Amino acid sequence: MKTLSPFAQKSSQTRGRERPLSPCPVRTEFVRDRDRIIHCKSFRRLKHKTQVFLSPVGDHYRTRLTHTLEVSQIARTISRALRLNEDLTEAIAMGHDLGHTPFGHSGEKVLNDLVPGGFEHNVQSLRIVEKLENGVGLNLTYEVRDGILNHKKSGHPCTLEGAVVSLADRIAYVNHDIDDAIRAGLLTNEILPKSCIEKIGRTHGERINALIMDILSVSFGRNYVRMSEEMMTEFDKLRDYLFENLYHDPRAKAEEGKAEGVVETLYKHYLKNIDGLPEDFKKYIDEDGRERVAADYIACMTDRYAVRDYERLFVPKDWN
């Protein structure tokens, strides 16, 4: 306790859970949350959910699970150096992407277009930990749930630990997506914006280290977590470059239209055949509506399960 910054969120001062728990003799409340997330089914499914490349053949491309681990590592390093609550930071990082759909942001876009009220993966992540996982949710502390909901760039987390995860998320995906794209032959360091390379670094490790050290130099001992304006300018330029030249690259997204078709077809099918859903989903129909519950079921699928379910429902089988 004495080693934490006065701006850190203390576990003993949590705003608590929706359902009280008896204290654990060896774990803080945020450690318990981290453990609950790691042991849940939604976390395990992340290993078969797309990060950028759909069903990559190589073993070294990131999935949503390895992305989560890299976010956690970066966030923990920042929190430790700023003397924030590393346990809270890790719990938020581990849970921030639980609500991602199959096929990454492609699947998210389809559901956002189809579901009344829209669909956002951060909101779905919160829905999973509050309600869907195990049919009752994970009963996490307020601070972890707030950090999960507000991890997007537009979010406003109530703790500095949540702000750390939001920054770490962007640092992780920008850098590992460059790494994956170079491995795939879609990018080279030579064509990345020159000023970004000069300011942030040429290699994966150099860039992550430079961004972390910049955050520490600006934020240490202060009641905020941010990059310097100069570093943020170059980082945003690098991120924008990826959106323009990688995330919409026809080679990287060659199968995206098919994936979107799978998600749309499955959603419409289960919307019409809602009784075909497991009981843990159907019990929320009266409370949340058929559209939201059908989206819940689709969003929980891994890439491979979505393809198998599509084949089961819509691809003719050999007659025997």
pLDDT per residue over 210-242, tens digit each? 999 999 999 999 999 999 999 999 999 999 999
Does the pLDDT of residue 1 top 60, yes or no?
no
- Torsion sign, CA atoms 279, 281, 285, 286: positive
Among 68, 69, 71, 74, which Cα is nearest to 99's? Answer: 68
Q: How confident is the model at residue 2 (pLDDT cuts 50, 70, 90)?
A: low
Q: What is the phi/psi pair of residue 18, to 5°?
A: -65, -35
Tell which wins on pLDDT, 142 or 246: 142
Determine the average pLDDT of the residues in 132-146: 96
Write down the pLDDT at residue 45: 97
| Residues facing 50 on adjacent strands | 63
Q: What is the pLDDT of residue 60?
A: 86
Q: Residue 253's pLDDT band (boundaries 50, 70, 90)?
A: low
- Cα-to-chain-centroid distance, residue 231: 24
Q: Mean pLDDT in the chain?
A: 94
Mean pLDDT, residues 75-84: 98
What confidence tens digit (pLDDT) does each residue in 22-75 have?
999 999 999 999 999 999 999 999 999 988 777 666 788 899 999 999 999 999
Q: Give the pLDDT of residue 295.
A: 98
For residue 119, which of 319, 294, 309 has the smallest C-alpha distance? 294
CB count within 10 Å of CB 135 equals: 12
Domains of the chain, first to last: 27-252 (1.10.3210.10)
pLDDT tens digits, one per residue of 155-201:
999 999 999 999 999 999 999 999 999 998 889 889 999 999 999 99
190: which residues sit within 8 A by CB, 6+ positions away?
none
Mean pLDDT computed over 94-113: 96
Q: What share of the chain is helix, strand, coil (3-state, %, to 5)?
A: 65, 0, 35
Percent of the chain with pLDDT over 70: 96
Q: How sure is the predictor about 146, in pLDDT bands with cuts at 50, 70 and 90?
A: very high
The sign one gets for the Cα dihedral 148, 153, 154, 157 is positive
Q: Determine the pLDDT at residue 319.
A: 75
Whole-number percent of the chain with pLDDT over 90: 86
- Place 277 in a pLDDT band, splitting at 50, 70 and 90: very high
pLDDT at 57: 63
